[in-house]
Chain A
């Protein structure tokens, strides 16, 4: 569980090796990657059409289940392999405005622009720095002894359940910084301004899944309504599990602001590796997780087309091994149970670390 300590010279060498790996893969990006993302877009569309048709025109429970699963898969592909990766600019080089990070709008209630800020800027820059990385516990959960324990903390298994069920809403309101609002540190005007893109986006999403498509199904509307709700629920649970496995597994490290003051680029790489965790599994796991199963590679190289992480992983692992850096990787259940254990364990006032480390709060922008 301890952090690797490399000398500045070692960190520089470490950085150069990772940079060289990046340059090598970046130089090879082309046709294959373009075909991949277009194929996934086509597949997500086909699943959406199949799912919505099954829900709309079917009568039996079997086609209902198939419809829900197909629609859930469409939404998962769209959010993870397409949306998440496109919004990271992984496909900007294609020059295709429909796959461009600045213009893509994904199929969840979180507005792309808000997410680019909370995720690309804040989370990827300040990965696992307490008090700076808002994704660390989402201002809701105590995931490490360095975070403050309050009277609300014991309830966190419940809050986690709620967050998982409503995950897309959690992500959507992140940039609203409601914590600041509750503490009376935000003017109503600022909140209104922050909320506007979210409200616009959410209105459209609700309208589509809970009004338009049910209405189009006429007498079959309850089936479509329920099917859409279930598909959204499945997607929420899945994406939540994947995201939580990325940074809250047992081995994921946290950092204090003091620790990262003036960190070198090599140290930045090291933090990305030690703060992340990978999932091992088949091709389907990589695809349905948007290749966040390779969270480590993603955090090192967020702008490289995600399927490349599979090729890069063994080499990153090998580099880490040579420098004695722990490479956190295991199967899905093992990692996820670790996450759940962390949530339960830190609900109790155990493992309280000495003060001096910055608590994770919403206070900092």
Chain B
């Protein structure tokens, strides 16, 4: 899990952590002992207990969580990285918080079940009393602080951070116009539909505009312009698939006010190339900000070296693990084992892996 703003430890703290004192200073052992007694006593990240599980739609479920008291607290629009352990593997996924900050620190995450999304499906099965781990809240996808007209646009489960914003603005007693445009398949698929309709009926400043794509089709540029009518290119927050974000951004760019849109897009799952045997893919090294291309017939290690990078390596035949690297996104095939890695944030061996899609590597 990413810890932001990590600073150099003080000399005393560094000395206490030094290997010379091992095992007296074995923080991991202490941590595991505490966890064995009560998982909420853990000092690693922020354990959070599931308080309640609520079905929102047929495939969407909300979990109310109570993080430990030292959790820093969030602002509407932010997300957290959730850590779960499935079948012995620790996995991390980020989810938007769908609730506004509350006095007692509870938070809500809302997940949609999607084919192949193992982690979401697993979290959806949790019950009240279970414990998962959160990171500190992250992200700057926030509503502006001023009391000017605001436009929120969300599609599908992109409603989650926007819902938190709506609740937060409502609690702040807002009077300036607030427009929420929501795009989803149909009424049954409308996450938080009842709550939003109720708010719209009792809160004059709040204007809810819903677009059902099962009836009206995917909104094209014309439909989108109609949906946004009267908002006058005010400050906007968009959350949804990349295509929607791009469409809104281009409308704003055309109006010369591109700076007024802030967006968040859930990462589209990168599917393995259908028959990419001959094709080469772009590999983006996130640590060094370098890009190279890798064909399906050369290992990523060879491709990286050919591009002038020098990744750590040893045996070059897949047994020593020297070349191990974190793959942020994309799909690779391990030629030695025949295993495919297509989940984000998995460890891969560069010397025996070939690219099957565009990749992001922590190199």
Show the binding face of A for B, using Cβ within 8 Å.
19, 22-23, 26, 29-35, 42, 45, 48, 88-89, 92-96, 98, 101-102, 105, 107, 116-117, 120-121, 124-125, 201, 203-204, 207-208, 212, 268, 302-303
Whether A30 lies near B89 (C-beta < 8 A) is yes
The segment from B22-30, B60-68, B160-168 that touches chain A is B22-30
**Residues of A contacting B92 in the complex (Cβ-Cβ under 8 angstroms):** 95
**Chain A interface mostly:** helix
Shortest CB distance B192–A (Å): 33
The answer to the question of B198 belonging to the interface, with a C-beta cut-off of 8 Å to chain A, is no
Whether B315 sits at the interface, judged by CB under 8 Å, is yes
A30 and B319 form a contact (CB under 8 A): no
A125 in complex: contacting residue of B19, B85, B320, CB < 8 Å: B320
* A208 & B20 in contact (Cβ 8 Å cutoff): yes
A47 → chain B closest CB, angstroms: 12
A89–B32 alpha-carbon span in the complex (Å): 22
* A120 and B315 in contact, given A48-B23, A204-B18 (Cβ under 8 angstroms): yes
Set A22, A35, A42, A92: member contacting B347, Cβ < 8 A: A92
Q: Name 30 A/B residue pairs within 8 A (Cβ), A-sorted.
A: A19-B338, A23-B337, A23-B338, A26-B339, A29-B88, A30-B88, A31-B88, A34-B87, A34-B88, A42-B32, A45-B26, A45-B29, A92-B321, A93-B88, A94-B88, A94-B90, A96-B90, A98-B28, A107-B22, A116-B320, A117-B322, A120-B314, A120-B322, A124-B320, A125-B314, A125-B315, A125-B319, A201-B19, A204-B19, A207-B20
In terms of DSSP, what is the predominant structure of the interface of chain B?
loop
- In the bound complex, CA of A33 to CA of B20 (Å): 31
- Residues of chain B lying within 8 A (CB to CB) of residue A101: 321, 324
The 8 Å CB contact of A22, one of B18, B23, B89, B337, is B337
Smallest CB-CB A-B distances: 10 pairs: A34-B88, A121-B314, A95-B90, A89-B321, A120-B320, A30-B87, A204-B19, A121-B320, A125-B315, A204-B20
Q: Do B18 and A93 touch (CB < 8 A)?
A: no
Q: Does B280 contact A (CB under 8 A)?
A: no
Does B337 lie within 8 Å of A124, measured CB to CB?
no
Interface residues on B, range: 20 to 34
Least Cβ–Cβ distance between B324 and chain A, in angstroms = 6
A359 vs B107: C-alpha distance in the bound complex, in angstroms?
68
Q: Flag whether B317 is at the interface (Cβ < 8 A).
A: yes
Q: 18 additional contacts, CB 8 Å, given A96-B90, A101-B324?
A: A26-B337, A30-B89, A42-B32, A45-B23, A93-B347, A95-B91, A116-B322, A117-B314, A120-B322, A121-B315, A121-B322, A124-B315, A125-B317, A125-B319, A203-B20, A208-B21, A208-B22, A212-B20
Known: A31-B88, A94-B89, A204-B18. A102 touches B324 (CB 8 A): yes
| Complex interface bits, B189-215 against A, C-beta within 8 A gives 1, otherwise 0 | 000000000000000000000000000
Task: Give the residues in chain A near B28, CB-CB below 8 Å.
Answer: 98
Interface residues of B (CB under 8 A from A): 18-24, 26, 28-29, 32, 85, 87-92, 314-315, 317, 319-322, 324, 337-339, 347
User: Out of B20, B29, B89, B321, which one reaches A95, CB within 8 Å?
Assistant: B89
**A contact residues around B315 at 8 Å (CB):** 120-121, 124-125
Chain A residues within 8 Å of B19, by CB: 105, 201, 204
A78, closest chain B residue (CB): B23
Contacts of A35 in B (CB 8 A): 88
Q: Which residue on A lies nearest to B24, using beta carbons?
A: A212
Q: How many Å from the CB of B30 to the closest CB on chain A?
A: 11
From residue A352, how far is it (CB to closest CB) to chain B in Å? 33
- CA–CA, A31 and B337, complex, Å: 20
Highest count of chain B CB atoms <10 Å: which of A19, A95, A98, A120? A95
Interface centre among A22, A89, A105 (most CB of B within 10 A): A89
Chain B residue numbers with a CB within 8 Å of A94 are 88-90
Chain B's nearest CB lies how many Å from the CB of A86? 11
Q: How far is the CA of A32 from the CA of B339 in the complex (A)?
A: 20
Bound Cα distance from A201 to B88, whole angstroms: 31
Residues of chain B with a CB closer than 8 A to A121's CB: 314-315, 320, 322
By a CB distance below 8 angstroms, the chain B residues around A203 are: 20
CA distance A96 to B91 in the complex (A): 10
Contacts of B85 in A (CB 8 A): 34
Give bound CA distance, A102 to B320, whole Å.
11
Q: Give B318's nearest chain A residue, CB to CB.
A: A303
Question: How far is B338's CA from A271's CA once the two chains are assembled, in angstroms?
Answer: 22
- Select which of B317, B320, B324 is within 8 A of A92 by beta carbon: B324
Are the C-beta atoms of B22 and A89 separated by less than 8 Å? no
- Which residues of the other chain, A, contact B29 by a CB distance below 8 angstroms? 45
A205 to B85, CA, bound (A): 34
List residues of chain B with CB within 8 A of the CB of A120.
Answer: 314-315, 319-322
With a cutoff of 8 Å between Cβ atoms, the chain A residues found around residue B23 in the complex are 45, 48
Set of chain B residues within 8 Å of A32, measured between Cβ atoms: 88
Separation of A35 and B87 alpha carbons in the complex (Å): 10
Question: A208 to B317, alpha carbons, bound, how many Å?
Answer: 38
**Cα-based distance from A303 to B339 in the complex (angstroms):** 14
B89 proximity list for chain A (CB < 8 A): 30, 34, 93-95
Q: Which residues of A have CB within 8 Å of B91?
A: 95
Residues of B within 8 Å of A88, CB to CB, are: 321
With a CB–CB cut-off of 8 A, which chain B residues contact A204?
A: 18-20, 22
Which chain B residue lies CB-closest to A74? B23
Complex alpha-carbon distance, A171 and B145, angstroms: 62
Q: Note all chain A residues with C-beta closer than 8 A to B338.
A: 19, 23
The CA-CA distance from A3 to B87 in the complex, in Å, is 42
Tell me the complex Cα distance, A180–B213, Å. Answer: 73
In angstroms, Cα B185 to Cα A6, docked, is 63
- A303 and B321 in contact (CB under 8 A), knowing A121-B314, A204-B22? yes
**Min CB–CB distance A358 → chain B (angstroms):** 20
Q: Which of B88, B324, B338 has the most CB of A within 10 A?
A: B88
A201 contact set on B, CB distance < 8 A = 19
